[in-house]
Amino acid sequence: MASKTIADELAKKQKEISVAEFFEKNKHILGFDNPSRSLLVCVKEAVDNSLDACEEANMLPDIAVEVRQVQGHEDEYTVLVEDNGPGIVKNQMGKVFGKLLYGSRFHAIRQSRGQQGIGISAAVMYGQISTGKATRILSKISPDEPAYDVELIIDTKKNEADVKKMEVILWEGKDHGTRVEITLIGKYKRGKASVYDYMKSTSIVNPHALFTLKEPDGTLNTFDRVADQMPKKCEEIKPHPLGIELGTFLNMCRSTQSYKLTSFLVNEFSRVSYRTARDITEAAGVSENMKPQDVTIEQARSMLEAIKNVKIMAPPTDCLSPIGDMLIRKGLRKEIDSKFCYTVTREPKVFGGTPFLVEAGLVYGGELDPQEPIRILRFANRVPLMFQQGGCAMTHAIEEMNWRNYGFEQPGGSGIPRGPAMVLVHIAATNVPFTSEAKEAVADVPELIGEVQNALKDCARRLKTHINKREKLTKVREKYDIIQKILPEIANKTAKMLNLPVPNIDNVITQIMNIIHVDSKVEYAKVNDQSVTSVEIWVTNYTPQERSMVLLCRVPDTLVAKASPTPSKIEGGFIHWDLKTLEPSKRIILRFDLMGLERGDYEDTELYYSRAKGEVVGADPA
């Protein structure tokens, strides 16, 4: 008999590792690396699940969170999260809470907060590892059904729930919903990266949800619902062909039910019509009628190459849910008040077959310290990311841009710039490429980094224009103030000396100033319980000639009332006024009201002009 080799000895040690065992040993991968973060991760997983479930069920979410300190143990807390969502059917409870890599959102191509089938089970596991205690779940799926009260732990060797208790109960006063109670070692704090901070940020980008947070000291915080409609539901889509991996494509070819290659392409991908499918097969040099199952590796490669070159529409937007201009401004304003705030929502793009879009906001000035690094607020799929900032692609995108072009300090042209600014970046995708299952940092996918930089450059460019405009307006104002002081004096004195009437010096002023001056004022008030934002725009012709111009003012997506004079049109997010004849030294005042905004939603006008001769100060060329 052959003697045993070293390889035989080593082979004895080879073993299968259960997913639960793996994450039990490597819980830091899931975010449980220190007590205060662990507490927050637990709250986050439960709240994200509640939000996703309510949205799938088309119910306005009411989510109550409580963090309760366990008597006698200062590092032990119970996290209780209760929602009014659809509940979970009895025979799924064990799997949803007691099995890692089990879920409903992994296989669907649609934006959602949960995407891995890990989160809540990981929290259950961390609870039992750190305190030995089981997790309790209550679930009721309809007013006509009883509720189930379950206590379970995860058997990590088998990656299965070990149900310690299951009771049928009457959950009085509850029609439907889920309640989770997890006891874990944690640390409750306020301030940065805290449970309170997370809930506040989450409530801002989810205005349709009502949140309450009861803190360990008994303080009850309410984050009110401010919108009564559900956000537009994200539709599930088919994969987009651009950037799809070769192996994935081949798998799809092999397992499709379609008989013809073109039908396969049309049926299994989004944005592929028969026309497009034929363009692809033709460019790739393959027969459009061939059986997809017969496609070779080389043929697949040619098709993927063809897909890059054939014109295919960007993915539909209805699988994605951007936060939007208004809420991004709110998110930034929660941190700092400032007059300058610019936001941008980019068009959807694709990376590796995954549709995504980037939004960004930049706020400048106010009480921000010009010596400090700029603060960064990161969001992915409407969830605030509170950790691992240094490891996130959004941070890398910021570090690798040249901010000195926009007036920021950035020694060496790389790294986080310093200046009195804060940025918010949101990546929405049907599958966000996180660096780990903790879902706190986005991976360095080049298309993402590029789009984040594009979005921030949009904002920074506007900032630079705004700063230049402000400096220019300041100079103009100073010049004008001086003129306004001196000239009348000169006129008066000269007139007195010469014993002549005081001349009209308007002409002189217009000769010296020689600009069309545009200034504006915004006021917010509640009138008869209605929110009214009143805007006044002053256009003054400080030139010696009669002037005309078209003036545009950007308005948000809300009701515009009482615009006067009558605009030539209100279209595409702008009010257009056609100012036909403005005589020298004359001023025209344009007015309008915006209804239904909150204080601070609209603080500064964004003005553009076209078809004007001469220099315009206070508005940008359209």
The only residue of 191, 411, 501, 621 in contact with a second copy, by rule CB under 8 A: 411
Q: Closest distance between a second copy and the C-beta of residue 368, in Å? A: 14
Largest Cα–Cα distance of the chain, in whole Å?
132
Q: Taking Cα atoms as reference points, which of 430, 400, 529, 511 lies closest to residue 111?
A: 430
Amino acid at 573: G
Instruction: Say which residue the tokens 């257009």 belong to.
Output: 576
Q: CA–CA separation, 518 vs 619, rounded Å?
A: 6
Q: Closest distance between a second copy and the C-beta of residue 126, in Å? A: 9
> Is residue 364 close enough to count as binding a second copy by CB under 8 A?
no
Q: Token pair of 500, please?
A: 């002549």
- DSSP letter (8 states) at residue 495: H
> Is residue 558 close enough to count as binding a second copy by CB under 8 A?
no
> Is residue 28 close enough to count as binding a second copy by CB under 8 A?
yes
> Do 553 and 575 touch, CB atoms closer than 8 A?
yes
- DSSP letter (8 states) at residue 611: S
> Is residue 92 close enough to count as binding a second copy by CB under 8 A?
yes
Q: Strand, coil or helix: what is 369?
A: coil
Q: Taking Cα atoms as reference points, which of 35, 65, 34, 71 lies closest to residue 48?
A: 65
Residue number with CB closer to a second copy (135 or 510): 135
> Is residue 104 close enough to count as binding a second copy by CB under 8 A?
yes
Stretch that binds a second copy, among 208-216, 271-279, 307-315, 393-401 (CB under 8 A): 393-401
Instruction: Say which residue the tokens 């104002």 belong to.
Output: 477
Among positions 46-75, residues that touch a second copy (CB under 8 A) are: 53, 56-57, 73
Q: What character string, x for contact with a second copy (CB under 8 A) and - otherwise, covers 570-609? A: ----------------------------------------
Among positions 420-439, residues that touch a second copy (CB under 8 A) are: 431, 433-438
Among positions 307-346, residues that touch a second copy (CB under 8 A) are: none
Residue number with CB closer to a second copy (57 or 226): 57
Q: CA–CA separation, 207 vs 225, rounded Å?
A: 6
The only residue of 1, 74, 107, 529 in contact with a second copy, by rule CB under 8 A: 107
Residue number with CB closer to a second copy (260 or 418): 418
Q: CA–CA separation, 401 vs 408, rounded Å?
A: 11
Q: Closest distance between a second copy and the C-beta of residue 28, in Å? A: 4
357: number of CA atoms within 13 Å, CB side?
20
The only residue of 51, 209, 377, 392 in contact with a second copy, by rule CB under 8 A: 392
Q: What character string, x for contact with a second copy (CB under 8 A) and - otherwise, covers 128-147? A: xxxxxx-------xx-xx--
Stretch that binds a second copy, among 21-29, 272-280, 357-365, 593-601 (CB under 8 A): 21-29
Residue number with CB closer to a second copy (400 or 489): 400
The only residue of 62, 68, 116, 288 in contact with a second copy, by rule CB under 8 A: 116
Q: Closest distance between a second copy and the C-beta of residue 16, in Å? A: 5
Q: Closest distance between a second copy and the C-beta of residue 124, in Å? A: 11
Q: Taking Cα atoms as reference points, which of 82, 121, 45 lies closest to residue 214?
A: 82
> Is residue 189 close enough to count as binding a second copy by CB under 8 A?
no
Instruction: Say which residue the tokens 């299994």 belong to.
Output: 268
Q: Taking Cα atoms as reference points, which of 384, 495, 361, 502 lies closest to residue 440?
A: 384
Report the side by side order of strands in the sheet with 620-621. 569-571, 574-582, 547-554, 607-610, 620-621
The only residue of 51, 96, 204, 310 in contact with a second copy, by rule CB under 8 A: 96
Stretch that binds a second copy, among 306-314, 440-448, 464-472, 581-589 (CB under 8 A): 440-448
Among positions 441-470, residues that touch a second copy (CB under 8 A) are: 441, 443-446
The only residue of 60, 62, 101, 520 in contact with a second copy, by rule CB under 8 A: 101
Q: Token pair of 525, please?
A: 């008030």
> Is residue 230 close enough to count as binding a second copy by CB under 8 A?
no
Q: Closest distance between a second copy and the C-beta of residue 606, in Å? A: 34
Instruction: Say which residue the tokens 């659809």 belong to.
Output: 86
> Is residue 374 close enough to count as binding a second copy by CB under 8 A?
no
Q: Taking Cα atoms as reference points, which of 522, 518, 517 lies closest to residue 591?
A: 522
Q: CA–CA separation, 253 vs 275, rounded Å?
A: 19
Residues paired with residue 588 on neighbouring β-strands, in sequence order: 539
Stretch that binds a second copy, among 12-20, 283-291, 307-315, 472-480 (CB under 8 A): 12-20
Q: What is the dihedral of CA 478, 367, 464, 428, to 10 degrees?
A: -150
Burial per residue of 345-382, b for 16 or more beta-carbon CB atoms within 10 angstroms, e otherwise: bbebbbbbbbbbbbbbbbbbbbebeeeebbbbbbbbbb
> Is residue 18 close enough to count as binding a second copy by CB under 8 A?
yes
> Is residue 10 close enough to count as binding a second copy by CB under 8 A?
yes
Q: Closest distance between a second copy and the C-beta of residue 248, in Å? A: 6
Residue number with CB closer to a second copy (185 or 516): 185
Q: Taking Cα atoms as reference points, which of 360, 345, 377, 351 lies closest to residue 430?
A: 351
Q: Closest distance between a second copy and the C-beta of residue 245, in Å? A: 5
Q: Closest distance between a second copy and the C-beta of residue 106, in Å? A: 5
Among positions 279-308, residues that touch a second copy (CB under 8 A) are: 297, 300-301
314: number of CA atoms within 13 Å, CB side?
13
Q: How many residues bind a second copy (CB under 8 A)?
A: 94
> 582 vs 301, 372, 484, CA distance in Å?
64, 46, 21
- DSSP letter (8 states) at residue 370: T
Q: Closest distance between a second copy and the C-beta of residue 426, in Å? A: 19
Q: What character string, x for contact with a second copy (CB under 8 A) and - otherwise, covers 233-272? A: ------------xxxx-x----------------------
The only residue of 243, 316, 391, 544 in contact with a second copy, by rule CB under 8 A: 391
Amino acid at 536: E
Residue number with CB closer to a second copy (108 or 560): 108
Residue number with CB closer to a second copy (17 or 498): 17
The only residue of 235, 372, 478, 523 in contact with a second copy, by rule CB under 8 A: 372
Stretch that binds a second copy, among 103-111, 315-323, 575-583, 584-592 (CB under 8 A): 103-111
Q: β-strand 607-610 against 620-621: which pairing, if any?
A: parallel
Could you tell me which residues come within 8 angstroms of residue 257 by beta carbon, excluding any fewer than 6 positions away? none
Residue number with CB closer to a second copy (310 or 441): 441
> Is residue 87 close enough to count as binding a second copy by CB under 8 A?
yes
Residue 425: what are its φ and ψ, rounded to 5°?
Answer: -125, 135
Q: CA–CA separation, 427 vs 425, rounded Å?
A: 7
Q: CA–CA separation, 101 vs 229, rounded Å?
A: 32
